[in-house]
Amino acid sequence: MKEFSKEVYLQWYADMTMWRRFEDKCRSLYLKQKIRGFLHLYNGQEAIPAGFTHAMDLSKDSMITAYRCHVHPMAMGVDPKRIMAELCGKATGTSQGMGGSMHIFSKEHRFYGGHGIVGGQIPLGAGIAFADKYFERNAVNICFFGDGAVRQGSLHETFNMAMNWKLPVVFVVENNQYAMGTSVKRTANHEDIYKLGLGYEMPCMPVDAMDPEKVAEVAYEAIERARRGDGPTFIEARTYRFRGHSMSDAEPYRTKEEVAVKKEEDPIVLVKNRILENKWATEEELDAIEQKSRDFVDVCEAFAEESPYPTLDKIYEYVYSEPNYPFIDKLEN
């Protein structure tokens, strides 16, 4: 794994500030009704994709996640302008405006969604890993899901199969403390989610996911274990979301004081302080990086605004079968 150098920290600061500004801009566009439907923001959890992509081999490893999925694809290399266009339902979006906020996708960058069904991506992550193993790609899938999804039966079925077949997959629960509005402590008789791996003798551990360096260290160990054929790992990434579950969340389940205390652990502030402590940049230089992030997000907004909506003739294109759909001639009446 690459060392945690000056260059890495400055890149983390540039990326994480851009991701935060991007999500803030999404909130603004939603309030202006330029983004419709559901919108789940990622503020506070940026250290997770920063740490994981540092540890991954982005030339062959893949990623899949749930519906809070704007930042993960950016970390994988997907053009943020196309992600913003998708959020606005424009034809230049990653799914040609047909997917929206919860369904960002990029085959080119091996980012396989963006899934709206709670826990629905967990078996798919194992399936991608099975394909990687079958075709001997020496690649690893990173399968993210939330603390609410760990209560789905599909997780247990997938854990059992993944261990039995020693699939090259790293399961990561982004434990931001609340499944929508239900705290972790109300959903089970203990709060250590990572211990769910013990029943399958799967290597499992928690990590302070407000620190990208700690995330990268745990991620690298798990990824290399999977790559050498020793099977999956289950990581509990302990984090916190600074905004509501979605834009419709009034947050009656937690206090403003609780959120304020958690914001003292802001991963962007942590990265900034380490840069300053090591004298890798000045306050003025970091301000310039953050301003560049703001300016780039404005470029993303302009790209989305100027892009056309899909034409009406596309409405049925991805709903019904293609004219020459394979095997259709073999169907029995």
pLDDT digits (tens, 9 = 90+) for 51-106: 999 999 999 999 999 999 999 999 999 999 999 999 999 999 999 999 999 999 99
Number of structural domains the chain divides into:
1
CA distance 236 to 256: 25
Q: Is 198 within a domain? A: yes
pTM above 0.75, yes or no: yes
Name which of 211, 176, 182 is nearest 4 in CA terms: 211
Q: Is 18 within a domain? A: yes
What is the domain-level CATH number for residue 272? 3.40.50.970
Distance of CA 83 to the CA centre of its chain: 13
Domain that holds residue 283: 6-330
Please, which contacts does 128-132 make with residues 24 or more away whose CB atoms are closer than 8 Å? 128/62, 128/64, 128/169, 129/162, 129/167, 129/168, 129/169, 129/226, 129/232, 130/165, 130/167, 132/62, 132/168
Instruction: Look at residue 327 in the predicted model and tell me its pLDDT.
Output: 58
CA distance 183 to 180: 8
Helices 267-277 and 6-31: angle between axes, nearest 10 degrees: 150
Q: Is 1 within a domain? A: no
Instruction: Look at residue 323 in the predicted model and tell me its pLDDT.
Output: 65
Q: Is 17 within a domain? A: yes
Q: Is 121 within a domain? A: yes
Q: Is 196 within a domain? A: yes
Instruction: Look at residue 127 in the predicted model and tell me its pLDDT.
Output: 98
Residue-level pLDDT, tens digit, the chain, 333 residues: 889 999 999 999 999 999 999 999 999 999 999 999 999 999 999 999 999 999 999 999 999 999 999 999 999 999 999 999 999 999 999 999 999 999 999 999 999 998 999 999 999 999 999 999 999 999 999 999 999 999 999 999 999 999 999 999 999 999 999 999 999 888 888 899 999 999 999 999 999 999 999 999 999 999 999 999 999 999 999 999 999 999 989 999 999 999 999 999 999 999 999 999 999 999 999 999 999 999 999 999 999 999 999 998 887 777 766 666 665 565 554
Q: Is 174 within a domain? A: yes
Q: Is 278 within a domain? A: yes
